[in-house]
Structures are given as structure tokens and as C-alpha cells.
Structure 1
Amino acid sequence: MSQEKLPTSRLIPIPKWNEYHDWPPPGGLRHLVFYGKTNGFDAVVKRVGRRVLIDEQAFFEWVEKNQGGAK
């Protein structure tokens, strides 16, 4: 039986997000995290102790899913 590697997603702390991506700024991410239960962003957030990490792959999937809602 061959073992397939699962695709890995990078987990990025909010303060380091802009080292990898220009948008959104950390304040914008914090806003999305704060309202995560109402906007569905909590599917993107991983919490380890007090650290809040953003699942990079899930973030871009969330953006694709929610792009029609922006006006």
C-alpha cells in the first residue's frame, strides 16, 4: 500500500501575515477573526493556546467563497 502525502497548508501568525502576503493588513485580519462566528472566518482560524494562526489555504478558499458578498 503506498502512502499518499496530504497537501499541507502553512499556519501563519497574524503579526507575520504580511511577511507572506500584502493583503489584508493585520488589523483587517483581527477584525475578521473577531467576527469569525458571523462571517464564517472561524473556519480559517486555528488556535494553539493563546496564539491565533491563519490557515493560509483555508484563507484563500474563504476569500473565493465570499467574494460575491463584497459590494
Structure 2
Amino acid sequence: MTVTATHTNQTASRLIPVPDWNKHHSWPPLGGLRHLRFHQETNGFKTAFKTVGRRVLVDEREFFRIVDEQNQGGK
């Protein structure tokens, strides 16, 4: 199941349930994604995860924005 959210700037970002992540992307594997979620307060990925009830969703666009941002810092 894929859910789409609309942000204030009217751009849609796909929200992917954590267990379904690897149906859409091969990286990171599910264990790595859960590790990022567990340490989200200290690794910069807090804004990439959304919790709705008991379900945890990954904001796809925000996730890869953070990855790109962290890669820029390593240069």
C-alpha cells in the first residue's frame, strides 16, 4: 500500500510503509531502514519518518533529500 501526502507547496511525496520499502527501493535494506528509524533523533532522519497510529511511513522525497544533504557534507 502506498499513500500520497500533499505538502503546503503542493508537491506530492510518496509515503511508503516501512515493511514495503524494499518493494520500491533496494537500498537501504529493511534492517538498515529500521536502524535509521531507531536512531532518527541523532542521525538526521527524523523528518523522513511519519507515524500514523501504529504505522510508520517513510516520506520518500524527504528520505533521499536527507541522504543527498549528508553526502554533500562529506565532500
| 2:49 is the alignment partner of 1:35 | no
| 2:14 is the alignment partner of 1:10 | yes
Give the letter aligned to residue 14 of structure 1: V
Paired positions, count: 66
Percent identity reads 55
Give the structure-1-normalised TM-score: 0.85
Superposed CA RMSD: 1.6
Give the structure-2-normalised TM-score: 0.81
Aligned equivalents of 1:54 and 1:67: distance in 2? 19
Which ranges in structure 1 are unaligned for 5 or more consecutive residues? none
Structure ranking higher in strand proportion: 2
Aligned equivalents of 2:61 and 2:70: distance in 1? 14
What is the Cα deviation at residue 27 of structure 1?
0.5
Aligned equivalents of 2:63 and 2:47: distance in 1? 8
Work out which of the two has the higher radius of gyration on C-alpha atoms and give 1 or 2: 1
Aligned equivalents of 2:38 and 2:23: distance in 1? 22
Structure of higher RCO (CA pairs closer than 8 Å, 6+ residues apart): 1
Which ranges in structure 2 are unaligned for 5 or more consecutive residues? 1-8
